[in-house]
Each structure stands twice: as structure tokens, then as C-alpha cells.
Amino acid sequence: MRAMTAPRSDKVFDGSIPKFYETYLTPLIFEPYAQDLAQRVKLEPVSRVLEVAAGTGVVTRAMVDALGASVSIVATDINQPMLDYGASTRADANVTWQQADAQALPFDDQTFDAVVCQFAVMFFPDRPKAYSEALRVLKTGGQFHFNVWDEIEENEFAYTVTKALADVFPHDPPQFLARTPYGYSNVHEVAADLERGGFTSAPEIETVAARSKASDPSVPAIAYCQGTPLRNEIESRDASLLQHATDVATAAVAERFGAGAVDGKIQAHVVSIRA
């Protein structure tokens, strides 16, 4: 397990990041797992669902499509720019968008039939506290469904981009991807944090591999370098090198996967636990 302290910039999704995130990263890596989570929620009857750290709403939209318009969904995120972008992508009458901190949810106890979170628990400063909040707002018997990325080496585009950026910044290579989104891959740590958060049942954890596909090598390079807080890390070193760093990452992806359409492995752990 990597012991790296996350700076505040790891959690800042503002400026042009939401647009690049939704345009490039969502179809590249998030959509298959969003469909997976939505189908897991659908396995049991639900009338009210909370999504924490909803981002631009890829899971929100998948749940509306899977669960139907009669199910009320509250989509929350601490980053208002992400919520604003998500709300602008599609109008669904049964979805409420609300800014909220996953570690201090503004909802009453036992309010929701299910709580859902896609690839965001890694960003929480105090994960057991966030888990305790999910447990608090869940009705007895309700389920908390979330996913975390497996280690970065199992996620080929992210690994390739991270290695490429070490050539651009050899004395201070950006480590955002390895440190944060891909830095919480130990399922035993996840289970221990859930127990510390107050869950008493055993989590069901399934490792799910999928394929990440793009029309050309620039897509994953732009997605990671400009659609995540990795952009903040690059610009903090030298803002004038953002495009150069993206170009170097593009070349690295092309060298490994080809100059045309590219196809890489992605892998995540999907966790379900009952209140």
C-alpha cells in the first residue's frame, strides 16, 4: 500500500476539469462501472437513493435509466462545478442535485434505501467517517454500493500516462494517479475502514475487469492530464508545460497501444455492504 500524503489539489475539480472529465474520462473508464453499480442497486426494491460524490452524474444517469422515474435520487458532491456540469447534461425530474460533504451529510438518519458512490471514497480525508455517514442515513437492511480502482499497474492507460510524465518532470514526477485514485486498492484496508465506520456485516467485494477503449491515443492522455486533478499537479510545476505533458503522454500511449484506436485494461473492486 502506498503511503503518500494527498495535497488539497487532489480534490479540486474546477475550471475546465469538469468538461474534460465528462467529455473524455467518463466514456473512457467510468461508464461500464456506472452501469454495473446501477444494476446492483436494481437487484432490490428501492424508492429513495443517495449518491455521494456524484461528479458529473454518470452513475446518476445510469440509475435513472435502470431504476425508472419513480425512484427519487439525490445526487451530491462537494465540488459545486461538477454538480453544475452534471445537472446541465440531462434533465431528470426525479433527480435532485445538492452540494454536500460525504463526511457530514445533511440528511436525517435512516432516510435512504441505498447509498451509492463511484470511484470517490479514495478522495475522502477520513474514510471511516464517510462510511459512518453512509451507514447513518441508510435504512436498516439498506445497502451501500461503491467501487475503488485496483492498483495502477492493473489500469494500463493510467499507468502509461504516469510513467510518461516522469520523463517530463524527472525531479518531481506527478504522482496524483498512483497516490489517490489508484492508491486505495487493498481490499483488506477497505474492509477494515468499513468496520471502523460502524458496519457490522461483512462486505461483498468483487474484482471486475473491463476494457477502456478510445478512438486514438490522445483521448486517454487528455482525459488524465486535463480531466483530473493531475492537471493541477502539472500546472503547479509549470503551467506552460500542460500541452507538452499531454503530448508526451499521447506518444507513450501510442507507443504501447498503437497509433489508431486504442484498447487497454481497467480493473476495479466493487463493494456492497448492508446496514
Whether 167 is covered by a domain: the verdict is yes
Please count the structural domains in the chain: 1
Give the per-residue pLDDT at 6. 55
β-pair type (112-118, 262-274) = unpaired
- Residue pair 236/194 in contact by the 8 Å Cβ criterion: no
Give the per-residue pLDDT at 18. 76
Give the CATH number of the domain where residue 114 resides. Answer: 3.40.50.150
Whether 266 is covered by a domain: the verdict is yes
- Residue matched to cell numbers 446501477: 38
- Residue matched to cell numbers 492508491: 183
Q: Exposed, middle or buried: residue 140 (CB in 10 Å: 0-12, 13-18, 19+)?
A: exposed
Give the per-residue pLDDT at 12. 47
Whether 2 is covered by a domain: the verdict is no
Whether 139 is covered by a domain: the verdict is yes
Give the per-residue pLDDT at 15. 54
Q: How many CB atoms lie within 10 A of CB 97?
A: 21
Whether 71 is covered by a domain: the verdict is yes
For residue 210, what are the domain limits?
Answer: 8-274
Alpha helices, DSSP H only, in the chain?
17-20, 31-42, 58-67, 80-89, 127-137, 156-168, 176-179, 187-196, 218-226, 230-238, 242-257
- Residue matched to cell numbers 468483487: 206
Mean pLDDT in order along the chain per 10 residues (275 residues) = 44 61 90 97 98 96 97 96 91 96 98 98 97 98 98 98 97 95 98 98 98 97 92 94 98 98 98 98
Give the per-residue pLDDT at 20. 83
Whether 61 is covered by a domain: the verdict is yes
Whether 158 is covered by a domain: the verdict is yes
The answer for residues whose C-beta is within 8 angstroms of residue 218's C-beta and 6 or more apart is 246, 250, 253
Give the 3-state secondary structure of residue 90.
Answer: coil
Whether 268 is covered by a domain: the verdict is yes
pTM score: 0.92
